[in-house]
Chains A and B, each alone.
Chain A
């Protein structure tokens, strides 16, 4: 039914705010590898016929309950030492993957418009280049608006293929924060991932916060002779990038992910409406139970104060269309002896 009594909202009755919410996102290695089948029969891992990346779900991906959590891929620059090796597998696609991610996240440089290299520093001066990369592209479902700076922690196994977690290293972006430790590029801010177990805090990768992408250097796994199972003798990480398929190298990386943790960020813009019920407003009701034989049931005599109870706030436009509705968790008593300001916050 149409509402009879409206109260106007002046411009001063509304204000806007911005709030940042953070959620802790822990990704344990068992979900990534092991919980839903053993390699190579993991049912939560989706490989594609084009073979350019691998998708990881938090549940067997054929189920409608499954959520896509991240993608894995690998690649290298065309001038990487790996690209000139003989017997390369999917070489063009690996170069394409590197270039695509680099051009989106870093852009081009020089008069020839060459795609930038990922760098293991914050200078973007084409030194300290990372010409090979292992990429973890998080789903927006996880990182929401952006990854919170200074919260990334990735624990990787550095053991053999057979026992990947016989040794581990943890990469963190602990030096990054809102005010320092990052560089702004086309793909947003990026920070450095340090190996916290090394005394010299050597950089082992970068994280792009707004894009939700982690680029790991192959140097994290340089000391491992059997990064990938590969042929009977196993592949180093370099050999894996050359000779294994992209999904094969992704399997090897996934097998070594023990834990990934970060805080995501949700930016909420809100409008707050202050709905003021003055002392002489809204003290009566059209609720059918308000009357018994036409007498107001909350009164014994005319001199008793009228009482009503608020449960709902409706927000309308000039055409009396209900644009938003708000419910109080319990009825709020309204009498001529009180004034009530209801603060209705709409989040966008």
Chain B
């Protein structure tokens, strides 16, 4: 895909997408709304310290070359522009994965496999072998497929900044008052590998006690599927609840809030995810993953597939990508 000529007047290059052509062939091509995106822009190029003055702050951004419009499944807007009523926001929430090992029921990547969240297949001996010394060796490092009462991946939302403390009043003024609370979120997953998503419902809680000790109470249930055009092949979507995140800052707590939370400032919501891995996965391991690999060097062989889970807030649009490894014990 080439760049558009940006040497003269601003032009608009428009194409029908494959879905658009399909709908046209079916006779139900009807455009009813639009959205705007800025996928090509790197806001890090906004130079607020430009010595030439404010007119030059965005010089590099305005010179960003833009690709021609795509027509296939990747044609969509990945990061849409947002309409928020308040013009005076300085902070916006983000999602972060909580990998603090002291939170019960929340898993974390093992140090030898940074940034990978393991999901154990329900195939025979997989959990037993993963708990063995020399392997992952702890339930802190993996979830088990289709379990409703075990560990899960804990994701927190909020202002991840040390500039604002995470007290209740800050939560109200920075997040609630500005309608920056995502009470629901969308999870996108590869439907070749997963039957669905199991997530914390709205009755789940996450808070810290008077000593600052975290308490995560999960009530997991299967998330409801939704129909939407994801522009990613083989991906499906579900809607999940995001209960309020009750972790707060209190100077009197012996365990600081930042010790138990991935968010440094005011927290908005949290989500907990587990997965229902398809039990029929066989050839998929060879097609999309690795087969019979002594992954931990303990003499046991595993097949595994790496895939990406996407979580997106329904109100703020904030997103996070969660790298997941589906793992299955296959023998010695």
Spell out A's residues near B (CB within 8 Å): 1-9, 14, 273, 275, 277, 280-334, 336, 342-346
Contact = CB atoms under 8 A, between A and B. Distances in A.
22 contacts: A4-B317, A5-B35, A284-B83, A286-B82, A293-B163, A294-B158, A298-B43, A299-B90, A306-B87, A306-B89, A307-B58, A309-B62, A310-B37, A310-B38, A314-B36, A317-B23, A318-B32, A322-B77, A324-B31, A328-B4, A330-B63, A331-B66
Interface residues of B, number: 88
B116 interface: no
Interface of B: 4-6, 9-17, 19-20, 23, 28-44, 46, 48, 57-58, 61-64, 66-71, 75-85, 87-94, 158-163, 186, 188, 227-231, 237, 265, 310, 312, 314-319
A3 to B, nearest CB: 4
Contacts of B78: 1
A9 B81 contact: no
Contacts, number: 298
A287 B76 contact: no
Most A Cβ at <10 Å: residue of B23, B84, B186: B84
B307 to A, nearest CB: 16
B257 to A, nearest CB: 15
Contacts of B13: 326-327, 329
Nearest to B74: A325
Contacts of A325: 14-15, 17, 69-71, 75-76
B10 A329 contact: yes
A133 B77 CA distance: 58
Contacts of B42: 289
Contacts of A332: 10
Given A1-B312, A322-B229, A284 B14 contact: no
Contact of A330 (B66, B162, B319): B66
Given A314-B36, A330-B6, A343-B12, 9 more contacts: A2-B229, A3-B35, A8-B33, A290-B92, A294-B94, A310-B81, A317-B32, A322-B77, A333-B62
Given A277-B36, A284-B92, A294-B91, A323 B11 contact: no
A153 B235 CA distance: 58
A283 to B, nearest CB: 7
A288 B316 CA distance: 12
Contact of B90 (A295, A308, A324, A329): A295
B37 A312 contact: yes
Contacts of A344: 12, 14, 34
